[in-house]
Amino acid sequence: MSDLWSDFERVRSVDGMQTRPRPVRRRPAAALDSPSGAPGSPRSAALATGLLSLVFALGAAPDARGEDGDPVANAAPAGRAHTESSAGPDPFAPGVESIVVFGRADEQIGIATAGSEGRVARADLELRPLGRVGELLEMVPGLIATQHSGPGKSNQLFLRGFNLDHGTDFAAHFDGVPINLRTHGHGQGYLDLNFVIPELVESMDFRKGPYRADVGDFASAGSSFMRSYDVLPHSFASLTIGQDAFVRGLSAANVEAAGGDVILALEAKTFDDPYDLDADLLHINAFAKLTRPLGAGTLRASALGYHAEWTSTDQVPRRAIDSPDPAISIPRLGYVDPDLGGETTRVGTNFEWVEDGEDPLRLSTWLLYYRLKLFSNFTYFLDDPPPGDGDEFAQRDERVAWGARATKHLALELAGRPFDLQLGSETRLDVITDVGLFQTAGRARTGTVRRDDVHEWSGAVFSEARFTPFDWMTWMVGVRGDLYVFDVDARDGIGAETNSGTELDGLVSPKLALILRPHEQFELYLNGGGGFHSNDARGTTIAIDPSNGAAVDPVDPLARQWGAELGARWQPDRRFHVTSALWFLTSQSELVFVGDAGTTEPSGSSRRFGVELSAFLQPFRWLALDASYAWSDARFDDLPRGQDRIPGAIEQVVSAGATVTAGDWSGSLRVRHFGAYPLVEDDTQRASSTTLVNLGANYDWGPLRLGLTVINLFDSKDADIQYYYASQLATEATPQADVHLHPAMPRQVRGTATLRF
């Protein structure tokens, strides 16, 4: 096996993608700078035809790139003609074996600062079978991304004993731009990844815990940093057709323009989904990126546009599924309210300039326009029984957001030993012109619960210093200071005249890490630090509950969190590594603004702890195996033992997969399991466990790749998500407390044809 691996390394060297040598000095992690209709219908056919034809007009040969997306030694500079010698051998020529690079095989000894840090890239992303875009985040070990609504809505996330809702306490970034939306109409920290085109993501770095100074809000449970390609490995056009009117067309091309390398991509998708109520999804996505030299550095400028419309099958009461009572019975894939769904739009630009050299200055700025209309009904006729209109409601969010960031790295020496210093600052302004909650019937407004105009500004400065007094020891000390200003203009709803106001709050968050390397293949990590999540601006100035007119107390603008972690990493070579972490996290308050009610809901302080294990093994050049296990315990501090469980806190997560790349064949088999978890504080109601298996297989025939994806391979009847609360159906005389669930999507088979240039 060692001879086989040596041969693999020699082949990699020929292509200019050499193994990264062990660093003499501890280098800063790259992520520190990162936060940076039916198939035959006329609409579907027109979308697919237009997308497939676009690439023929735009296609160009790719640049040669290394593992981090930077040009390799023999690559032509950006903007110059790509020659055969600079681009390397034609990957589609007969007899040329493609090289498979797994980001999880990247050297992390001497780079990572915690046992829970990691990276996924290349084959990790390309070969993974995805049912939803949000499942990209499931590459973070221990994270679960589910759905309780339609295909255009943000996923429900779970990690480290957190029911993260749609993003609170997990921060995600795309090309350095924060994705989470604060003071959002549906949920604080709303994290919608549907605008991301997975094929354009070159790598994703991830972390867990509040141990780094460069990320603040929403990052206490974890954070991720996706990076798009500067130059695609190849231009391509693809068409995917599957069950339930799934049609997806995608074209992406490398183009030389404006003195640099340009990526142009266009995606369109339709889907009815297998639930009884057709989703009728329309999804359109466009992306453009320019990479070129500018002055003493490199400019990356990008623009994106995304729009989606859909109908939702939300969670349904368990008592109604196949009930013998015909008055309430619905099929397992049925629905209660046919008028749910929404539409969303996201348009943004991003500019980043990185200075050349070992001590780069990074400057970036971004601008975003965002709009969401969402219709939901979780309790049916609980608050407004027949002959009333029921409990349907609408949430709206429209905003313009702007941000800027600057970081400077300095590689210095102290007493003749390596001393790295990172300095940075960032700012963000959200001008939310319309955020509101409305009563509706058949998607028509019947009343206003609350409607606001919000301005939220934040600024931060941060620094990290790393000192390596001995080859086997590195200290990292960081500090971050955040300042927030919330300005709320309550325009409509009960108590509007008293719910307006301005609040200011700030926090200083220290960070500390000790990294020990008793052997060149083994590292130990001790991490600790403070973090926070911001609360909805409306909750910081509230005085009157708009749902009932009762007096309420405002919440703290910033909720403090403290975390610590003991980790280990063993990585003898690129074929194999194992990581482990024992972690602890406390939260000052679980207080969040509940967008579904228009008010805040107190939950008290909490504490969580857990254990995580993950492993990667590539025993042969053609086979890669990975597995992870996470266990956590989450409890409220101010409730008696036995009544202190945190509802929705998943306790066990198992993920495993095998990826095969044998000649012209490639594929991946993935299994993910999350165990039973509490639905109420006394643990008398528990959600059942869920196990799903996905399969992806590809065959390369020259420049043509034929792919097959099977989602939920064994057609599991488990649930995506479960809740416990009271609801009332139209034919019921009184409310009923019950488990409400969203069934996992039944087996879906999809075929893809991709033509590469």
Average pLDDT, the chain: 86
Cβ 122 vs Cβ 102: under 8 Å = yes
The string over 513-551, giving b where at least 16 C-beta atoms fall within 10 Å of a residue's C-beta and e elsewhere, is bebebeeeeebebbbbbbbbbbbbbbbbbbebbbbeeee
**Residue 602 confidence (pLDDT):** 60
pLDDT digits (tens, 9 = 90+) for 527-557: 999 999 999 999 999 999 888 889 988 989 9
Collapse the DSSP code of 676 into the 3-class scheme (helix H, G, I; strand E, B; otherwise coil) and give the result. Answer: coil
Whether the link from the prior residue into 510 is cis, omega within 30° of 0, is no
What is the DSSP pairing of strand 686-687 with strand 393-414?
Answer: unpaired
Tokens of 697: 């297989």
β-bridge pairing 719-727 and 297-311? unpaired
Among candidates 748, 709, 711, 741, which has minimal Cα distance to 724?
A: 741
Q: What pLDDT does 36 receive?
A: 41
Nearest to 31 by CA among 156, 203, 197, 151: 203
Compute CA distances 207 → 327, 464, 587, 589, whole Å.
50, 16, 18, 22
Residue 195 in any domain: the answer is: yes
**Would 548 be classed as within a structural domain?**
yes
Cα Rg, the chain, nearest whole Å:
26
- Does the pLDDT value for residue 154 go beyond 70? yes
pLDDT at 51 over 60: no
Note the pLDDT of residue 603: 76
Residue 15 CA to residue 329 CA, distance in Å, equals 62
pLDDT at 159: 94
So what's the pLDDT on residue 40? 40
Question: How does DSSP assign 191-202, residue by residue?
Answer: ---TT--GGGEE
- 149 or 356: which carries more pLDDT confidence? 356
User: What are the strands, taking DSSP E only, across 637-729?
Assistant: 652-662, 665-674, 677-678, 686-687, 690-701, 704-711, 719-727
Whether residue 66 is contained in a domain is answered as no
pLDDT value at position 358?
87
State mean pLDDT over 687-711: 97
| Cα separation values, 56 from 52, 233, 255, 755, Å | 8, 16, 11, 10
**CB crowding 168-205: b at 16 or more within 10 Å, else e:** bbbbbbbbbbbbbbbbbbbbbbbbbbbbbbbbbbbbbb
CA distance 193 to 319: 33
- Lookup: tokens for 438: 């409305």
Q: Residue 456: which of 435, 485, 436, 426 has the closest Cα?
A: 485
For 85, phi then psi, to 5°, come to -70, -35
Q: Residue 569 in contact with residue 115, Cβ under 8 Å?
A: yes
Is there a contact between 319 and 328 (Cβ–Cβ < 8 Å)? yes
Tens digits of per-residue pLDDT, 709-718?
Answer: 999 999 999 9
The answer to the question of residue 67 being in a domain is no
pLDDT at 38 over 50: no
pLDDT score recorded for residue 243 = 97
Beta-carbon contacts of 641 under 8 Å, excluding residues fewer than 6 positions away, are none
At residue 230 the predicted structure's pLDDT band, cuts being 50, 70 and 90, is very high
Beta-carbon count within 10 A of 416 CB: 6
Q: Contact, 709 vs 752, CB < 8 A?
A: yes
**190: which 2 tokens?**
């709303």
Return the minimum-mean-pLDDT range out of 206-210, 395-399, 570-574.
Answer: 570-574
Mean pLDDT, residues 609-616:
97
Strands (DSSP E) contained in 442-575 are: 444-470, 473-493, 501-519, 522-534, 558-573
Of 437, 441, 439, 395, nearest in space to 149 by CA: 395
In a domain, 716, yes or no: yes
452-459 mean pLDDT: 98
**Count of the separate structural domains present in the chain:** 1
Beta pairing partners, 347: 305, 369
- Domain harbouring 192, CATH code: 2.40.170.20
Task: Give 491-520 pLDDT, tens digit per residue.
Answer: 998 888 899 999 999 999 999 999 999 999
pLDDT, average across residues 251-269: 96
- The phi-psi region of residue 513 (left if phi > 0; otherwise alpha if psi is between -120 and 50; otherwise beta) is beta
Sign of the Cα torsion 648, 540, 454, 483 reads negative
Q: What angle do CA 370, 192, 563 make, to 5 degrees?
A: 120
Q: How far apart are the first and last CA of the chain?
A: 34
* 42: helix, strand or coil: helix
d(CA 203, CA 29): 14
Range of the domain at 677: 2-61+74-756
pLDDT of residue 604: 81
* Separation of alpha carbons 251 and 680, rounded Å: 47
Please give the average per-residue pLDDT across 600-611, as a whole number.
83
In three-state secondary structure terms, 692 is: strand
Measuring CA to CA, which residue among 459, 327, 461, 453 is closest to residue 400? 453
Instruction: Classify strands 341-355 and 361-376 as parallel, antiparallel or unpaired.
Output: antiparallel
Matching residue, tokens 């051998």? 89
Q: Is-contact 507 490, C-beta < 8 A?
A: no
**Residue of 166, 422, 132, 402 lying closest to 271 (CA atoms):** 132
User: Could you tell me if residue 68 is inside a domain?
Assistant: no
Whether 687 is in a domain gets the answer yes
Q: Rounded to an integer, what distance in angstroms lies between the CA atom of residue 653 and that of residue 672?
A: 7
The pLDDT, as a whole number, for residue 638 is: 86
Does the pLDDT value for residue 129 go beyond 60?
A: yes
CA distance 241 to 267: 14
* CB-facing half-sphere around the CA of 726: CA atoms within 13 A: 7
- Give the integer Cα–Cα distance in Å for 161 and 653: 10
CA angle 451, 454, 457 (to 5 degrees): 165
pLDDT tens, residue by residue, 326-349 = 989 999 999 999 999 999 999 999
pLDDT above 70 covers a percentage of the chain that reads 85
Q: Are 147 and 742 in contact (CB under 8 A)?
A: yes
Write the CB contacts of 640 (distance below 8 Å, at least 6 apart in sequence): none
Q: Is 415 exposed, middle or buried (0-12, 13-18, 19+ CB in 10 A)?
A: exposed
In order of 483, 530, 561, 565, the CA distances from 507 in angstroms are: 7, 9, 11, 22
Alpha-carbon span 253 to 245, nearest angstrom: 27
CB neighbourhood size of 356 (10 A): 12
CA 607 to chain centroid: 24
Q: Please report the pLDDT score of residue 594 as a whole number.
A: 52
Alpha carbon distances (Å) from 105 to 8, 19, 23: 13, 10, 16
Write down the residue that tokens 């039916």 correspond to.
Answer: 38
